[in-house]
Amino acid sequence: MTNKKSYTFALILVTSLFFFWGFIHNLDPILIPHLRNAFSLSHFQASLVDSAVFIAYFVMAIPAGIIMKRYGYKAGILIGLIFFAIGCFLFVPAANTISYVFFLGALFVVACGLTILETAANPYVAILGDPASSAQRLNFAQSFNGLAAFVAPIFGGKFILSHEPKSQEELAQMAEQAKMAYIQSETASVKLPYVVLGILILLIAALFFFTKLPDIKDAEEDGKSGFFHALRHKNVRWAVVAQFFYVGAQVCILSFLVLYATEAAGISGKDGADYAGFAGLAFMLGRFIGTFFMRFISASKLLIIYSFVTIILSLFVIFGSGIQTLYALIGIAFFMSIMFPTIFAFGVQGIGADTKSASSLIVMSIVGGALLPPILGFISDKTGHFQYGYFVPLVCFIVVLLFAFQNRKVSIAETENLKSH
């Protein structure tokens, strides 16, 4: 009974992290059009906001796994929170120097912290209880990531996109001194939200420091297997590939939503921020509803259904027109919501001592969020048609569908069947 209570409190505390990293990620859809306007960026250049964030997942995933193997989950969470807070505070000098590169650097530091947090928290939630319900547990925790996806764009729209930005034509007509003053005011508007978030993250770190978390040991943890040894498991290899494409799709859908709203659906940036909030709400509801459905239908079958629907909606986003295409994007947010935690749960099931290494490898594959959005931006710039860039998430959802078919006969609890050699 004590163990169960201890697990429950630990689960609540770790689940709160899913909200905070979801919140910072979902400020990006606001940050991208804001910085694009302030620095007069192309679609490709604006997409580097996501690249700065997600390249950190590739760079830091293995060090994060090493930290976890050597010092445990709690140490990983604390180190991740400290990096997270430092990155938030770096937004102040970035705004003061009016440097786009500095902003990208601050985002990279934040993302280094998020990488360590995700490498620790995802497998920790998955193994903190009955293995048979790990997918449900992880989807539930990730639902708070979805809650953040709803709250963050509305918050960001209020404090960062508080007024309609000047057009490129208006900027071109301004005197150089007035233009620099305008850019300074635009970049300064991001300081307060990120400083407040940084302080909050330090308080959360203090709470974790003084809280005793259950020290969960992975089976055969003392084995001396190499870091990439986890790739001998077929489910790990498939999860790495599927997660690479899924995260690329998620970033394309959510991070470019405000830009899509203004360029393809013809509405204002401020109204676009509200639609980004609705997409976040759809994402959150998709997670909660998906978690509920998993009580009656296998995770793999639900993943097949959701993947198929996202493919159909993606085709409409590419070839449709008007506000209805924006509704389709919000629909995609709903149906893609269960993909990350479900892929992750299949990837780390039944692999014993390789769990932490597998977690790092799957988190490393999040680099898809750095590499695929610039392709969307490049296609949009070259074709002059923003919607054509959405062929990128379409291909990604096809890969997720293939992953789901690969696991269609596997129950998440059947860990022996998930192993491969």
- What pLDDT digit, counting tens, does each position of 151-207 carry? 888 888 777 765 566 656 666 667 777 767 777 777 788 888 899 999 999 999 999
Q: Is 22 contained in some domain?
A: yes
**Cα maximum dimension of the chain:** 70
Q: Is 398 contained in some domain?
A: yes
Do the beta carbons of residue 410 and residue 346 sit within 8 Å? yes
Q: Is 71 contained in some domain?
A: yes
Burial class (CB in 10 A: 0-12, 13-18, 19+), 203: exposed
Instruction: Tell me the angle at which helices 368-383 and 391-406 cross, rounded to the nearest 10 degrees.
Output: 140
**Residue 282: enclosing H or E segment and its boundaries?**
helix 269-293
Q: Which residue has the tokens 């993943």?
A: 303
Q: Is 89 contained in some domain?
A: yes
* DSSP calls for 372-418: HHHHHHHHHHHHS-GGGGGHHHHHHHHHHHHHHHHTTT--TT-HHHH
What is the rounded distance in angstroms from the CA atom of residue 218 to the CA atom of residue 351?
9
Q: Is 219 contained in some domain?
A: no
| Structure tokens, 329 | 């994007």
What is the rounded distance in angstroms from the CA atom of residue 352 to the CA atom of residue 127?
10
Question: What is the rounded end-to-end Cα distance, in angstroms, of the chain?
Answer: 38
Q: Is 50 contained in some domain?
A: yes
CATH number reported for the structural domain that contains residue 295 in this entry: 1.20.1250.20
Kindly report the number of other CB atoms within 10 A of residue 302's CB atom.
20
The number of distinct structural domains making up the chain is: 1
Q: Is 217 contained in some domain?
A: no
Q: Is 100 contained in some domain?
A: yes
Domain with 373 in it: 2-212+225-418
What is the rounded distance in angstroms from the CA atom of residue 162 to the CA atom of residue 401?
39
What is the rounded distance in angstroms from the CA atom of residue 48 to the CA atom of residue 245?
18
Per-residue pLDDT of the chain (421 residues; tens, 9 = 90+): 445 555 777 788 888 898 998 898 888 888 888 788 778 788 888 888 888 988 988 888 888 888 887 888 888 999 999 999 999 999 999 988 888 899 999 999 999 999 899 888 877 887 777 766 776 787 788 778 778 878 888 888 777 765 566 656 666 667 777 767 777 777 788 888 899 999 999 999 999 898 887 766 555 444 445 567 777 777 888 899 999 999 999 999 988 998 898 888 888 777 888 898 899 889 889 988 988 898 888 888 999 999 999 999 999 999 998 899 999 999 999 999 999 989 988 887 776 777 777 877 888 888 898 899 999 999 999 998 999 999 999 999 999 999 999 887 666 544 333 333 2
